[in-house]
Chains A and B, each alone.
Chain A
Amino acid sequence: MTDYVSRREFLTLLGVSGGTAAAILAGTALGLLPGGAAAATLDLQMAGTEQRRIAILGGGLSGLTVAYELSKRGYDCTILEASHRCGGRIFTVRNGDLIDEIGNRQYCDFDDEPHMYFNAGAARIPSTHRNILAYCKKLNVELEIFVNENKTSYVQDKSMLGGQRIRNIEYTTHMKGFMAELMAKALDQEDLNAPFSESEAETLLGMIRSFGDLSEDDLYRGSLRAGYATGGFLEHGVQKEIIAFRDLLKTPLGRVLISANEGDTGPMLLQPKGGMDKIVEGFLAQVGDKVKYRAMVASVKVGENGVDITYDQDGVRHPLQADYCFNCIPTHLITGINNNFPAEYVSALKYVRRGEAYKAAFQAKRRFWEEEDIYGGISWMNTPSLQIWYPSHGIHQDKGVVLGAYDYGGGMYHTRMTQQQRIEAHLSDGEKLHPGYGQLVEKPITVAWHRMNHMLGCSARWRRSFSRGWSYEEETHYKTLQQPVNGRHYLIGDQMTMHSAWQESAILSAYWAMADFNQRIPVTQA
């Protein structure tokens, strides 16, 4: 590391020798900018006269992707889906739909209107997830903008300002102001001159002042960005009263508020019009005839020349012989299926833990949030329910469906409650953000992924420690599962990526497997 060159210095050098274009290309290499904008291409050969039978275990997105791509190339695909529906954790709940939680079955009775749905699993598509977006285009799935962060939404914590809710914009404006003041103080002119040229220093200070809306003396005295107390149109706007720095620091929510616009959940985000499962419908329009529903896999035996599968359907055990198998059943359920996988493969399957994410939703009797200038986005509360999401769609309709709780990290807190306790907890939490909430919402549903039939978990958790990243053991298990057993059985799904919980990941896992499969099948004549 003695020859270490900082990113800034490196870019400066390249900028001198090759100009901006060279600097941008190098930026890709350094991981600063995303690569080319094209979706991944699949160069797969057409099926030959033999080795055509493909078994796909699980009708999740990765399984549907394989069915779609390989059917198009002449393969004979069969999808075995254990439940009554395809899509796995792409699950849109509407009027009449079953939420098949073990021990807590629910039927949704939201009003039967196109905009009255709830995406209980996948709910956001980042604009950089180009492969899922490419399928949306190909399968005629109409998209619209999804609003994730909304500055008019609320923040509430009983430890901050006596539990009084404030607007997200108030929190973030003041926090940025105080942070900018600290930064400006920390960098006096002399220090700035040391590592930076005079013009660089001027630019930096200018940014800091603008970031925090500082006064000319580099102090933060509040900002009109946080909203007007009065006026603003026909009269001069009067600045809202500033909130003390120390008060803002009372809530741990600051961390998420200041970073909510970054990474995968940063703008622009999209959603299919009418529900996330429009994507599943798009695939099923092409390969729906290949799906066997309520077909639970009982055994998977991988041989030298193929894969023998049995499955239970309508109380009868059926055989299914395939030349190749693509399996997107969650790892923690595969361990309950009779198999002849190698010991290290089974150990790896057992290593992956199941996610615990939990969501709940209500039908709102009227779109009360729009009466408070909120159109889409998320309010945060420091309670177990954590979030309220306002729908980005159905604007100015009479009613809407709000997310009433989303615990993406834990989830077991609510999962372990009875349905009644869950609902009471969400109503009580929501009351703190929206007075009268209990009267404003009705028809609750809860989706505890840890207990959903045939899923029994949310996204795969590979890492035991988030702070340390992937351990050597984890990398080893991952590589073991990525390799096909006997070159015949592929494990796929977002679980087989280093970035689980995204639809893009499911597709890319399927692409990896199909590209490997393509190398192994006999070459067909052109």
Chain B
Amino acid sequence: MRSLKGSFLTVVLLTCLLASINAVCQELEPFNDRYCTTCHGADGRGNEGVQAPRLAGMEDWYLIRQLENFRAGIRGMHPQDIEGAAMQPMAAKLSDASIADIVEWADSWPAEPAGITVQGDVVRGEKFYAVCATCHGVHAEGSETLGAPAMAGQNDWYLVTQLKNFMADYRGNHRDDSYGQQMRSMARTLGDEVGIRDVVSYINTFAER
């Protein structure tokens, strides 16, 4: 079987080289880790249609940490984390070099704030946010020192999903995910989904749109 692999590939390559413009399959698709925009949208703008968040503007250190968490099965393993479970096998294929390449690519995307889709009680949200501000900053600008990503300008529907996932223990339940564990207990202070929408609607006030 293994010895056949070489000749199999040769046949495929020859077939594709000989293939005319009319062939349905062009050629053996070159492997490339720059897959992100299929789900995360043009220029990593985020795509609500498949619930994939905005990557443009995400901090390098946060992107690396999350890709490594997905790759190691620290994130995206809970069956109820629907989108995380789709991301996990993708990240599992990435090498350190691929992650570095993706981060470099992501840096080239213009970071425009995402549109507003979540409505809530901003005044109530502001009260909730006081505790979040400790790590994420008073303007949700994030802090590398504290390991807390920026949230201003992120897709608000994504923030809602993640807070719900933290609250339900779908995310942050792995023993090696100390930041996630922290968020799990913090998310509980929001009480319920109404609280989540309120705080997200307050976070929405930070980004110029």
- Chain A positions near chain B (C-beta within 8 angstroms): 82, 84-87, 92, 95-98, 100, 102-105, 107, 109, 112, 277, 280-281, 284-285, 288-289, 293, 296-299, 312, 330-338, 349-350, 354, 416, 418, 450-451, 453-454, 456-457
Q: Closest residue of chain B to A350, judged by CB?
A: B48
A281 lies within 8 A of B23 (CB) = yes
- In angstroms, Cα B21 to Cα A288, docked, is 6
Tell me the dominant secondary structure on chain A's binding face.
mixed
- In angstroms, Cα B45 to Cα A371, docked, is 55
**Given the complex, which residues of B lie within 8 Å of A97, measured CB to CB?**
25
Minimum-distance CB pairs A-B, first 10? A336-B41, A336-B47, A332-B49, A103-B89, A335-B49, A103-B90, A96-B12, A298-B42, A288-B21, A288-B22
**B11, CB-defined interface residue at 8 Å:** yes
What are 25 inter-chain pairs, A to B, with CB distance below 8 A?
A97-B25, A100-B29, A102-B35, A102-B39, A102-B90, A103-B86, A284-B23, A285-B22, A293-B26, A297-B42, A299-B42, A332-B47, A333-B38, A333-B49, A334-B49, A335-B47, A336-B37, A336-B39, A336-B40, A336-B45, A349-B49, A350-B49, A451-B86, A454-B38, A456-B50
- Chain B positions near chain A (C-beta within 8 angstroms): 8, 11-12, 15, 20-29, 31, 35, 37-43, 45-50, 52, 79, 85-86, 88-93
Q: Closest residue of chain A to B42, judged by CB?
A: A298
- In angstroms, Cα B38 to Cα A457, docked, is 12
**Given the complex, which residues of B lie within 8 Å of A284, measured CB to CB?**
21-24
**Given the complex, which residues of B lie within 8 Å of A289, measured CB to CB?**
21
Q: Closest residue of chain B to A96, judged by CB?
A: B12
B39 lies within 8 A of A104 (CB) = no
**Given the complex, which residues of A lie within 8 Å of B31, measured CB to CB?**
105
B24 lies within 8 A of A333 (CB) = no
- In angstroms, Cα B11 to Cα A172, docked, is 47
Contact of A103 among B27, B41, B48, B93 (CB under 8 A): B93
**Given the complex, which residues of B lie within 8 Å of A84, measured CB to CB?**
25-27, 29
**Given the complex, which residues of A lie within 8 Å of B38, measured CB to CB?**
82, 102, 296, 333, 453-454, 456
**Given the complex, which residues of B lie within 8 Å of A297, measured CB to CB?**
42
- In angstroms, Cα B37 to Cα A350, docked, is 18
**Given the complex, which residues of B lie within 8 Å of A96, measured CB to CB?**
8, 11-12, 15, 28
Q: How far is the CB of B33 from chain A (nearest CB, A)?
A: 11
- In angstroms, Cα B18 to Cα A96, docked, is 14
- In angstroms, Cα B24 to Cα A97, docked, is 10
Q: How far is the CB of A81 from chain B (nearest CB, A)?
A: 9
- In angstroms, Cα B27 to Cα A332, docked, is 27
A416 lies within 8 A of B85 (CB) = yes
- In angstroms, Cα B28 to Cα A293, docked, is 13
Q: How far is the CB of A518 from chain B (nearest CB, A)?
A: 28
Q: Closest residue of chain B to A415, judged by CB?
A: B86
**Given the complex, which residues of B lie within 8 Å of A296, measured CB to CB?**
37-38, 42
B35 lies within 8 A of A453 (CB) = yes
**Given the complex, which residues of A lie within 8 Å of B85, measured CB to CB?**
416
Q: How far is the CB of B10 from chain A (nearest CB, A)?
A: 10
Q: Closest residue of chain A to B85, judged by CB?
A: A416
- In angstroms, Cα B25 to Cα A92, docked, is 10
- In angstroms, Cα B83 to Cα A450, docked, is 11
Q: How far is the CB of B32 from chain A (nearest CB, A)?
A: 10
- In angstroms, Cα B42 to Cα A298, docked, is 5
Given known pairs A281-B22, A281-B24, the reply for A337 and B29 (CB within 8 Å) is: no
**Given the complex, which residues of B lie within 8 Å of A85, measured CB to CB?**
24-26
Q: How far is the CB of A246 from chain B (nearest CB, A)?
A: 36
Q: Closest residue of chain B to A353, judged by CB?
A: B49
Q: A281-B24, A336-B50 are in contact. List 19 more A-B contacts (CB 8 A).
A: A95-B11, A104-B89, A281-B22, A284-B21, A284-B24, A288-B20, A288-B21, A330-B49, A332-B49, A333-B49, A333-B50, A336-B47, A336-B49, A336-B52, A338-B42, A338-B45, A350-B48, A416-B85, A453-B35
- In angstroms, Cα B24 to Cα A98, docked, is 12
